[in-house]
Amino acid sequence: MSRPLLASGLVLVSACGAGDLRPVHNTVVVATPTTTTTAAPAPKGPTEEDAKKFLVGVDKELRRLWTAQSRADWINKTYITVDSDELAADAQEAQMAYLNQVIPQATRFDGLALPEPLRRQLTLLKLASLPTPSPNDAKKRAKLADLTVWLGSEYGKGKYTPKEDSKLPKLAKAYGVKESAWNLEDLSRLMAKERDAAVLLEAWKGWHATGHHLKAKYKEYVELGNEGAKEIGFADMGALWRAGYDMTPEAFEQDTERLYTQIKPLYEQLHCYVRKQLRKKYPAEKIGQKIPAHLLGNMWAQDWNNVYDLVEPYPGAAKLDVTAGLKKKKVDEKGLVRIAEKFFVSVGLDPLPETFWERSMFTQPRDRDVVCHASAWDVNFNNDLRIKMCVEINEEDLLTAHHELGHNYYYHYYYKLPMLFQQGANDGFHEGIGDTIALSVTPKYLHDIDLVPTVQKDDKAALDFLMKTALGKIAFLPFGKLIDQWRWDVFSGKTKPGDWNKAWWQLRERYQGVAAPIARTEADFDAGAKYHVPGGVPYVRYFLAHVYQFQFHRALCKAAGHTGPLHECSIYGNKDAGKKLEAMLRLGASKPWPEAMEVLTGEKTADAAALLEYFAPLSKWLADQNKGEQCGF
Ligand code: X8Z
Ligand code: ZN
């Protein structure tokens, strides 16, 4: 797992903390000079040269340890066995042991004036154990490493075997399910298309049951991670996670809240309209204020793309059926990723290295357990780019391929930087690059590359397209925020283990307006049924990315000379936009994120205004449609 991976999703090692410029340890001991009659030589503190030497050593050792971890992790996640678990945990432990030793050493330079690149590396080093800080105790370290690997692998192995009286086996063929036990990909295909509420409920319950047995170990992971965080000066693991944004953890929380306030009214409008349509489709479910979580086409109700047919503004208009286009052109798994690569190359970025195509995992192996959740890697921090994805030939995975390649292109443009700068400007940037490119996958672009036969160019078609995009992007926002809201409270102890599931559903109701479809208890561990929780991957990054990507898109469209509505812009083929993007990617984490934001957008803060501009026509349409409805939840 390299930390990049993380960006990608994965990694046990951190996922990209980007750097807090405040000293992590707020007690800097400054020696007070004492006056004596005899002129004793002043005690010599460390020099700039010492700091430089120290960082050269750290860079070398991190490269060695993170690469070893990355290799072990790649094998583990593409072939889960007792042995690969063991090897991944050993590699994890080794890099944790090094960080336990070297992070405290970095404080030696706290009082010293240093050139900015050195100062920033020291700052980032103090965050380098993110997301899984280990206590400096060999036994505890080994335990924490085992726990993180175990949690990730158990999630990857999760399956649901329907009972005798279940309707699922009869549907297996229709959903392309080949084994009697259904894995997450199988259940997700069903959730996407099925419209029988009882069947949906069974799939939902079946998958969520796979999370139950993770709770006890998750509790141990929280305890040890908190201990590790405290040892390096943070209140708990959540405070460490919130420290990676070039501002205090408190300021970061406030800033996130500010962004959420900007987009909440639009989410409520979308929720209101979707709920109205679902009430028509599922009258027997007697949908109240909150939407039952199994009816939105996705296991976690995190995006609602799959209920598009139920909420399409103008059902008569020609359908933008990308999946049909891919199938018609007989695009295979690699071919789908090639389409995404072609976009990046069209704006002047490099083609992916040949090794990417040789070493990536594009399809789900039939004979072994793997972690299917998509991720992107640079295994040796030296351009050994890969993705790991169980590609299905459909529109959703075409967009995910763009998402993953965004990570790979970031890796590609910063791999020559020191290890500690080989991260996104912050982790939300890393998550936002591929999505930014995917915003240029417009109906016109799809037509231009011959994936859809016709495009209609009128207001109705625009509203259909905006609705589709909103089901992916706007529906996601509260989910993107609440996962870490839950974890921050779990880590700080504000939410006790006896209330974990209750707190989970309180947040899902409050933020998403979604409710558990059946009664839940503390024997359930529903957060454990979402990859990033057992996977230990921070999640607020995706919330940020969903805001940033519209800012990035607007800036790139401006660079490309686009005029007209933002949702019509595609930067496909535009080298000026590509240059702008590349300049930002090349910075990695070498500068505080507001500077990277400025390089790309001219703005120094995160702002949801571009997102609101993009969706303005839909926002107006929704407000009209919802007249007379009691919106809110
Ligand atoms: O985990 C991912 C990527 C890998 S970084 C596929 N995403 C989040 C999720 O699936 O929950 C992308 C969007 C949100
Ligand atoms: Zn990602």
pLDDT (tens digit per residue) in 77-119: 999 999 999 999 999 999 999 999 999 999 999 999 999 999 9
Q: Quick check: is 231 catalytic?
A: no
Ligand nearest the Cα of residue 542 is 1
Distance from Cα 8 to the centre of ligand 2, integer Å: 4
Distance from Cα 407 to the centre of ligand 2, integer Å: 7
Verify whether ligand 1 is closer than 6 Å to residue 8 (CB atom).
Answer: yes
Domain membership flag for residue 526: yes
Residues 421 and 279 placed together within one structural domain of the fold: yes
Helix (H) or strand (E) holding 434: helix 427-439
Amino acid identity of residue 56, one-letter, is: V
Which protein residue's CA is at the shortest distance from atom 14 of ligand 1? 542
Residues 541 and 493 placed together within one structural domain of the fold: yes
Helix (H) or strand (E) holding 375: strand 375-378
Going by C-alpha positions, the residue among 286, 288, 293, 289 that lies closest to residue 268 is: 289
Task: Please give the number of the atom of ligand 1 that sits closest to the Cα of 373.
Answer: 6
What is the spatial distance between Cα 628 and Cα 361, in angstroms, rounded to a whole number?
Answer: 50
Distance from Cα 375 to the centre of ligand 2, integer Å: 6
Mutate to test the pocket of ligand 1, among 542, 543, 548 (most ligand atoms within 8 A of CB): 542
What are the b/e assignments for 480-506, b being 16+ CB within 10 Å?
Answer: bbbbbbbbbbbbeeebebeebbebbbe
Going by C-alpha positions, the residue among 487, 497, 476, 477 that lies closest to residue 533 is: 487
Strands 514-515 and 291-292: parallel
Distance from Cα 521 to the centre of ligand 2, integer Å: 31
What are the b/e assignments for 520-559, b being 16+ CB within 10 Å?
Answer: beeebbbbbbbbbbbbbbbbbbbbbbbbbbbbbbbbbbbb
Domain membership flag for residue 358: no
Domain membership flag for residue 581: yes
Instruction: Work out the angle at residue 15's Cα, subtended by the Cα atoms of residues 527 and 84, and round it to the nearest 5 degrees.
Output: 80
Distance from Cα 547 to the centre of ligand 2, integer Å: 14
Task: Please give the number of the atom of ligand 1 that sits closest to the Cα of 400.
Answer: 6
Residues 221 and 314 placed together within one structural domain of the fold: no
79 CB-side CA count, 13 A: 8
- The conformation of residue 627, written as its DSSP 8-state character, comes to T
- The pLDDT tens digits for 118-143 are 999 999 999 999 999 999 999 999 99
Verify whether ligand 1 is closer than 6 Å to residue 374 (CB atom).
Answer: yes
What are the φ and ψ backbone dihedral angles of 282, each rounded to 5 degrees?
-120, 65
Give the residues of the chain that fall short of pLDDT 50: 1-37
Q: What is the total residue count of the chain?
A: 633
Contacts 24+ apart (CB under 8 A), 178-182: 178/366, 182/206
Verify whether ligand 1 is closer than 6 Å to residue 9 (CB atom).
Answer: yes
Verify whether ligand 1 is closer than 6 Å to residue 597 (CB atom).
Answer: no
Verify whether ligand 1 is closer than 6 Å to residue 306 (CB atom).
Answer: no
Amino acid identity of residue 236, one-letter, is: D
Going by C-alpha positions, the residue among 146, 145, 117, 135 that lies closest to residue 56 is: 117
Task: Please give the number of the atom of ligand 1 that sits closest to the Cα of 8.
Answer: 5
Residues 46 and 140 placed together within one structural domain of the fold: yes
Model pTM score: 0.94
Residues 428 and 286 placed together within one structural domain of the fold: yes
Ligand nearest the Cα of residue 538 is 1
Ligand nearest the Cα of residue 388 is 1
Domain membership flag for residue 71: yes
Ligand nearest the Cα of residue 302 is 1
Domain membership flag for residue 129: yes
Q: Structure tokens of 521? A: 């208890």
Give the CATH number, domain containing residue 579: 1.10.1370
Residues 308 and 224 placed together within one structural domain of the fold: no
The pLDDT value recorded for residue 38 is 58
Which protein residue's CA is at the shortest distance from atom 12 of ligand 1? 542
Distance from Cα 540 to the centre of ligand 2, integer Å: 12
The pLDDT value recorded for residue 27 is 32
Domain that holds residue 54: 5-154+216-233
Residues 99 and 145 placed together within one structural domain of the fold: yes
Distance from Cα 156 to the centre of ligand 1, integer Å: 15
Verify whether ligand 1 is closer than 6 Å to residue 422 (CB atom).
Answer: no
Which protein residue's CA is at the shortest distance from atom 6 of ligand 1? 374
Helix (H) or strand (E) holding 386: strand 385-388
Verify whether ligand 1 is closer than 6 Å to residue 542 (CB atom).
Answer: yes
Mutate to test the pocket of ligand 1, among 300, 302, 372, 373 (most ligand atoms within 8 A of CB): 373
What are the φ and ψ backbone dihedral angles of 133, each rounded to 5 degrees?
-75, 130
Distance from Cα 104 to the centre of ligand 1, integer Å: 33
Contacts 24+ apart (CB under 8 A), 335-339: 336/391, 336/393, 336/397, 336/398, 336/401, 337/362, 337/387, 337/389, 337/391, 337/401, 337/405, 339/398, 339/401, 339/449, 339/451
Distance from Cα 221 to the centre of ligand 2, integer Å: 23
Verify whether ligand 1 is closer than 6 Å to residue 574 (CB atom).
Answer: no
Domain membership flag for residue 400: no
The pLDDT value recorded for residue 39 is 63
Domain membership flag for residue 343: no
Residues 133 and 272 placed together within one structural domain of the fold: no
Quickly count helices (H) and strands (E) in the chain.
26, 6
Distance from Cα 370 to the centre of ligand 1, integer Å: 17
What is the spatial distance between Cα 467 and Cα 477, in angstroms, rounded to a whole number?
Answer: 15
Which protein residue's CA is at the shortest distance from atom 1 of ligand 1? 9
Q: Structure tokens of 95? A: 């890099």
Helix (H) or strand (E) holding 291: strand 291-292
Distance from Cα 283 to the centre of ligand 2, integer Å: 37
Verify whether ligand 1 is closer than 6 Å to residue 469 (CB atom).
Answer: no
Task: Please give the number of the atom of ligand 1 that sits closest to the Cα of 530.
Answer: 11
Instruction: Work out the angle at residue 426's Cα, subtended by the Cα atoms of residues 607 and 480, and round it to the nearest 5 degrees.
Output: 60
Residues 221 and 274 placed together within one structural domain of the fold: no
| Number of domain units in the chain | 2
DSSP codes, 557-611: HHHTT--S-GGG---TT-HHHHHHHHHHHHHTTSS-HHHHHHHHHS-SS--THHH
Catalytic residue from among 404, 431, 546, 562: 404
Residues 52 and 145 placed together within one structural domain of the fold: yes
Domain membership flag for residue 297: yes
Catalytic residue from among 532, 553, 562, 567: 532
Which protein residue's CA is at the shortest distance from atom 2 of ligand 1? 9
Mutate to test the pocket of ligand 1, among 6, 411, 431 (most ligand atoms within 8 A of CB): 431
Q: Quick check: is 404 catalytic?
A: yes
Which protein residue's CA is at the shortest distance from atom 7 of ligand 1? 542
What is the spatial distance between Cα 476 and Cα 465, in angstroms, rounded to a whole number?
Answer: 17
What are the b/e assignments for 578-609, b being 16+ CB within 10 Å?
Answer: bebbbebbbbbbbbbbbebbebbbeeeebbbe
Residues 275 and 222 placed together within one structural domain of the fold: no
Q: Return the C-alpha torsion angle 138, 142, 147, 153, nearest 10.
A: 160
Residues 582 and 540 placed together within one structural domain of the fold: yes
